[in-house]
Structure 1
Amino acid sequence: MPGEGDENYLTTAEVARRLQVKPATVYAYVSRGLLTSVRARGRRGSLFPTADVERLAARSVEHSGVVERIESELTLLEEDELYYRGQSARDLATTATLEQVATLLWTPGDTSAVAGEGLFAADREGVLLARRAMGVVPEGARVTDRLRVAVAVLGAADPLRFDLSAASVTAAAGRLIGTLIAALPGPTAVGTTVGGKLWPKLSDAEPRPEVLDAALILLADHGLAVSTIAARVAASARANLYAVVSAGLGALDGQYHGAAPTLAYEFLERAQRDPVQALSDQLRSGEPVPGFGHRIYQHRDPRADVLLELLGDHPIVGTIRAVAARTPTFPNSDLAIAAIMHAYDFRPDAGDALFALARMVGWTAHALEEYAAPALRFRAMGIYTGQTT
C-alpha cells in the first residue's frame, strides 16, 4: 500500500490540479473507470497512480467531460488537399474506381488502390426487400428518407450482421451500397461503373458516369465530420454496420451537414437567372452564401476543383464564376455537386443522396478502425445544472 509522498502516486488535490478539474470530478473519473484509486497508508483519502493520471491528462479535458482523441490512418486534410491513406483524392477521382478507393480505405496497411471487382454487387433478394421498404415511404419523401428506411430493413434481414470481423463488415458494406443503388426507383444500368449505375436513378440526361464516379470518390470521406463521429460512436458501442450507417445517416440529415448540397442547388437556381441579384439577396439575409467557403480549406476546395473541371465550359460554370468574382470566398464541394445537378437535370434531392451513398464508404472505414479500438470510449461527463434538493 503506497504512502503519502510516494512519487508514483498523487493525492486527490494533486490530481485535480493536474487535470484542472474539481476534486469531485476526480472521483467521477474513478466511477467511470478512467482512474484507479488506492488507499493511502496511515492516512485518510485516496491516492492515484501517476501514470494513470498522465494518460488521462493526455486527453482533452474540458468542462463537458473527457473527449477521446481519435487517431486515424484514413484521411488527411493538409494545405488545401485531401488524401486517402497518403494518396491524393484529387488524383484518385480521375484514375481509380470507387471499388479501388473503398478497398484502399477498408484495408489497413494497403498503400495502393488495389482492384475490388464486384465489391458493390447488389443482392437480388435484398433489392426486392429494399424496394418494398422504400415503397412505404410517402410519395413526396426524399431519396435519403428512402435510404434510411431501406438500411434499417436490410439490417434486420441480415442474420450475420453481428459478425464484426473485417471480412464480414466489408462484404456487408459493399453489398449494402450496391443493393441500395439498385433498389432506387429508375432504370437499372448493367455492366457499368457505380456512377453509371447510379446515374439513371437521378437523371434522364445522357449519362456521364465519370462525373458521378469522381464525385463518389471525392465525397467518400472527409475526416471527422459530424456524421462520421456519430458513426464511430455507434461502432464504439459495437453496433453492427447497418446501425453504424443509420447513425451516420441520422447526423447527415441535419441542416448544417447533409442538406448543404440542396441549399447550394437552390442558390444556384436563383443565380442562373441573375447572379448579382441572387448574391445580393443572400447577403441581405445575413446568412452565408451556400456552396462558398469552408471551415477547413483556406483558399480552395480540391474536390470542387476536380468536379467543376469535369463540367468544362458548361454555362453553369460561368454562373459560378460570376458569383465567385464578387465574393472573397471560393466554391466548395457542395456547390460543385449542385452544379452537376443543374447541368444534367438531376432531381432536386439528388445531392443529399449522392453525399449519403458516398459517405457510407467512409463510415465503413471508420467503423473498422473503431472495432479495433477499445469499446465504449466516447462517453462524456455530463455536468448537472438543474435544481438540487
Structure 2
Amino acid sequence: MTHESVHTAGTGDERAPGEGRRLSTREAADLLGVKPETVYAYVSRGQLTSRRTPGGRGSTFDAAEVEGLARRTGRREPPPAATGGLVFRTGLTLIEPDRYYFRGVDATELARRYGFEEVAEWIWTGELRPGVRFDAAPESLEAARRTAAALPRHSSSTDRLRAAVAAAAVADPLRFDLSAQGVLNSARSLIPTLVGALPAVGDTDVEGGSLAARLWPKLSARPAGPGSLAVLDTALALLADHDLAASTLAARVAASTHAHPYAVVSAGLGVLEGPLHGAASGLAHRMLTEVVDRGGAAPVVADHLRAGRRVPGLGHRLYTGEDPRAGVLFALLEEVPRAAPALSAARDVIATTARHTPLHANVDLALAVLSVSEGMPAEAGETIFAVSRTAGWIAHAMEEYAERPLRMRPSGQYDGPRPPQPLPAPGAATAREPDPAK
C-alpha cells in the first residue's frame, strides 16, 4: 500500500457505472471520526480498501465499507478479555495452535520465499516490494557507530544496540514526524543503522547487499555460505513479529504516549534483554554447546532436571506442537553441512527430554543450532531477535499512533499501610500492617 499525502483528495464520487458511492479520504475520515492519517492505517491493517483516483491524486473508498467500519468501531478499544487482561485490536499477526500469519498470509511461507526487508515491508504496509533494500542515513549511522564504539569492551550487542538507537534518534531531526510515511522513513533507516553500529567479529565487514549479508560479519568470523546466509535471512523474516509479546507490549505503551519510533524501539529493547524473552536463545546456545562437547544430551538434560531448571529451547505456550519457526529453520539447516553436529545434538535434546515430558522445539533451539554451528557467540540469537523484532515494534507503533493516546492506564491496587500514618522519623523503616483480609 502506498501512503499518499492526506492533503490530496479527489472528488470522492468518481465511480464506474453501477458501482456504489465512493468517498474521498477527508469524507471517510469525517465519517469515521478520525484523522485522515488513521484512514490509511485502517487500509494498512486490511480493514479498508482504497483505490487511486484518476491521475493518482489521492484515494477513494467504498462508502458502504466505510460505514460498516464506522459501525464496528463505535468504541475504539475492544472490551476487556474474559481473563481480565488487556486486548488490542491488531491487523498484523494472527497466531494459531500450529502456525501464524502476517496480515493473513502464512508467515512461514512468506519467510521461505522472501527476504527480511520484503517481509518487513509487508508487515508495515501490506504491500510486497520484491528486492527492496534498507539503507542507513549517513549522519545517523556515523553517530550510532561512534556511540556504540565508545562503550566498554565487555558490553553486549544489546547494550550497543540500545546506545545506537539513542544516538540515531539524536541525529534525526525528523524523528517526531509520526505520519505513516515519516515513521516508515525512520524505520527503513534505523534497522540498517543498528546493524552498521555493531562491530564486526572478524576482519571483514559488508556494507551493501541484503540486511542479512550485512549482519552476518557482526555475528561470525567465518564466511557465510549461501545456505547459512539463507538461514539467517529466513530467521530474521520469521522473527519480525509475534503478536503482543512482552517487548511488543512495551513498545505499544511507548507509542500510546506518541513517543517517536526510536523511543518505541528503545522500550522494546529494554524488555527484550530479559532472560525469559530475547536472551532465552543464549541459554539454548550454551546448553547445545555442552551437548556437543559431552557427546550426548542425556547428562546435560539430567543436570538441568536435577537442578530444577527447565531445558532451554523447548516448549512454547502458544503452540501445541513444534514452533513453526523452528520447523522452517531446522529444514534449512539440514542443507548446511557444518550444521550437522549441532542439529544432531538438538534432536538428541528433544528426544531425551521427551522421555520425561513431551516438549517440542521452539525457535530458540533453532537459533542455537545456527549460532553453535557457525562459531557465533552465545548472544548471537538475541542480536538476531533484536534486529528482526524492530520491524514488528515499528508496525505496532504505527497501529498505536492511530488509536486514542494514553489509553493504557491500569489502576494500581494499593496494599500499603493505611493512612493516615505519622511522619516517619529519620532512618525509620515503614512497617507493613497485617491485612486481615489475607
Indicate the TM-score class for this superposition, using the shorter chain for normalisation.
0.7 to 0.9
2:128 counterpart (107, 110, 113): 113
1:242 counterpart (262, 265, 270): 262
- 2:155 matched to 1:141? yes
Q: Distance in 2 between matches of 1:367 and 1:72?
A: 11
User: Where do 1:253-292 residues align within 5 Å?
Assistant: 253-272=273-292, 273=294, 274-292=296-314
Give the AA of the match of 2:266: S
- Helix, strand or coil: the match of 1:307? helix
Shift of 1:61: 8.2
Aligned to 2:246: 226
Give the AA of the match of 2:80: R
Aligned to 1:100: 118
Shift of 1:71: 0.6
Shift of 1:55: 9.5
2:217 counterpart (175, 179, 200): 200
- 2:410 matched to 1:380? yes
Q: Distance in 2 between matches of 1:67 and 1:332?
A: 25
Contact residue 182 and residue 188 of structure 1 kept, 8 A: no
Deviations 1:31-85 (A, max 9, x none): xxxxxxxxxxxxxxxxxxxxxxx999932488xxx85420100001113101101
Aligned to 1:370: 400
- 2:247 matched to 1:209? no
Residues 117 and 55 (structure 1 numbering): CA distance in 2 closer, same or farther, change over 3 Å?
closer
Q: Distance in 1 between matches of 2:350 and 2:77?
A: 46
Q: Distance in 1 between matches of 2:376 and 2:76?
A: 51
- Helix, strand or coil: the match of 2:187? helix
Residues 320 and 152 (structure 1 numbering): CA distance in 2 closer, same or farther, change over 3 Å?
same
Unmatched runs of 5 consecutive residues or more in structure 1:
1-53
Residues 203 and 57 (structure 1 numbering): CA distance in 2 closer, same or farther, change over 3 Å?
closer
Shift of 1:86: 1.0
Q: Distance in 2 between matches of 1:68 and 1:133?
A: 37
- 2:178 matched to 1:185? no
Aligned to 2:98: 80
- State the TM-score, normalized to the length of structure 1: 0.81
- Helix, strand or coil: the match of 2:95? strand
Residues 320 and 357 (structure 1 numbering): CA distance in 2 closer, same or farther, change over 3 Å?
same
Q: Distance in 1 between matches of 2:400 and 2:118?
A: 22
Contact residue 237 and residue 376 of structure 1 kept, 8 A: yes
User: Where do 1:40-51 residues align within 5 Å?
Assistant: none
Deviations 1:228-258 (A, max 9, x none): 0000000001000000000000111112111
Residues 57 and 228 (structure 1 numbering): CA distance in 2 closer, same or farther, change over 3 Å?
closer
- 2:76 matched to 1:58? no
Contact residue 74 and residue 105 of structure 1 kept, 8 A: yes
Q: Distance in 1 between matches of 2:278 and 2:231?
A: 20
Give the AA of the match of 1:104: W
Q: Distance in 1 between matches of 2:178 and 2:286?
A: 41
1:132 counterpart (140, 146, 159): 146
- Helix, strand or coil: the match of 1:83? strand
Aligned to 2:326: 304
Unmatched runs of 5 consecutive residues or more in structure 2:
1-74, 421-438
Give the AA of the match of 1:318: S
- Helix, strand or coil: the match of 1:325? helix
Task: Work out the number of aligned pairs and report it.
Answer: 329
Shift of 1:126: 2.0
Q: Distance in 1 between matches of 2:348 and 2:298?
A: 8
Shift of 1:190: 4.0
Give the AA of the match of 2:152: P
How large is the Cα RMSD of the aligned pairs? 1.9
Shift of 1:100: 1.4
Give the AA of the match of 2:343: V
- Helix, strand or coil: the match of 2:166? helix
- 2:317 matched to 1:320? no
- Helix, strand or coil: the match of 2:151? coil
Residues 201 and 321 (structure 1 numbering): CA distance in 2 closer, same or farther, change over 3 Å?
same
Contact residue 193 and residue 209 of structure 1 kept, 8 A: no
Q: Distance in 1 between matches of 2:391 and 2:114?
A: 15
Shift of 1:280: 0.5
Aligned to 1:336: 366
Q: Percent identity?
A: 45
Give the AA of the match of 1:320: A
Give the AA of the match of 1:132: R
User: Higher relative contact order by CA 8 Å / sep ≥ 6: 1 or 2?
Assistant: 1
Contact residue 240 and residue 392 of structure 2 kept, 8 A: yes
Shift of 1:124: 2.2
- Helix, strand or coil: the match of 2:100? strand
- State the TM-score, normalized to the length of structure 2: 0.72
Deviations 1:156-179 (A, max 9, x none): 221111110010101101101111
- Helix, strand or coil: the match of 2:165? helix
Q: Distance in 1 between matches of 2:151 and 2:80?
A: 44
Q: Distance in 2 between matches of 1:252 and 1:333?
A: 15
Residues 343 and 68 (structure 1 numbering): CA distance in 2 closer, same or farther, change over 3 Å?
same
- 2:116 matched to 1:70? no
Contact residue 265 and residue 342 of structure 1 kept, 8 A: yes
Aligned to 2:9: none
Give the AA of the match of 1:59: P
Shift of 1:113: 2.7
Aligned to 1:10: none
Shift of 1:339: 0.7
Q: Distance in 2 between matches of 1:235 and 1:67?
A: 19
